[in-house]
Amino acid sequence: MKAIVTIMLKDGVLDPQGKAIGHALNNLGFAQVGEVRMGKIIELELAGTDAAQAKSEAEEMARKLLANTVIESFKVEVAG
């Protein structure tokens, strides 16, 4: 199974990387760009065939290692 963990900074947490990207896009002429937020995506190849189990395992990995839950939120999707 493949689990995809998406990690974003929580709303209200300053995102300097996103700000820098927004400024760079504005400077390149993309005036329509407003707020920009940047996050991480982690694709995990998991042994096993149970989608619900894979999802709960990936959530445990996100809580224990992948995300900093003080400032980041995460979501897990499982694909075939």
14 near a second copy (CB under 8 A): no
- Among candidate residues 40, 38, 49, 37, the one with its CA nearest the CA of residue 67: 40
Q: How far is the CB of 72 from a second copy (least distance, A)?
A: 12
- Among candidate residues 47, 42, 34, the one with its CA nearest the CA of residue 66: 42
Instruction: Choose between 49 and 70: whose C-beta lies nearer to a second copy.
Output: 49
18 near a second copy (CB under 8 A): yes
Name the amino acid, one letter, at 11.
D
Q: Which of 8, 67, 76, 78 binds a second copy (CB under 8 A)?
A: 8
